[in-house]
């Protein structure tokens, strides 16, 4: 195995680690985005606008 083969093997391993990292992070990111989206939707309801005095 020469140096070029070793470099390609290390690159492949690096890509595998990157994919694994994203696979573990994506559920957490999706959960956080869902919480933010739900909070925005609640904040924009007519009831919440009326309770906070933002109703025109």
Convert the pLDDT of each residue in 4-49 to its tens digit.
Answer: 888 888 888 888 888 888 888 888 888 999 999 999 999 999 999 9
Q: Which two tokens stand for residue 53?
A: 């005095």
pLDDT of 1 over the 80 cut: no
Q: Please compute, for residue 42, the number of CA atoms within 13 A of its CA located in the half-sphere on the CB side.
A: 6
Q: What is the pTM of this model?
A: 0.62
pLDDT at 21: 85
Q: Determine the Cα–Cα distance for residues 55 and 9; give it in Å rounded to an integer.
A: 61
pLDDT of 51 over the 90 cut: yes
């Amino acid at each position: 195995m020469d140096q070029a083969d070793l470099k390609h093997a290390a690159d492949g391993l690096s890509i595998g680690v990157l994919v694994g990292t994203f696979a573990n992070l994506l559920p957490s990111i999706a959960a956080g985005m869902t919480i933010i989206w739900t909070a925005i939707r609640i904040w924009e309801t007519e009831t919440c606008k009326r309770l906070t005095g933002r109703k025109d």
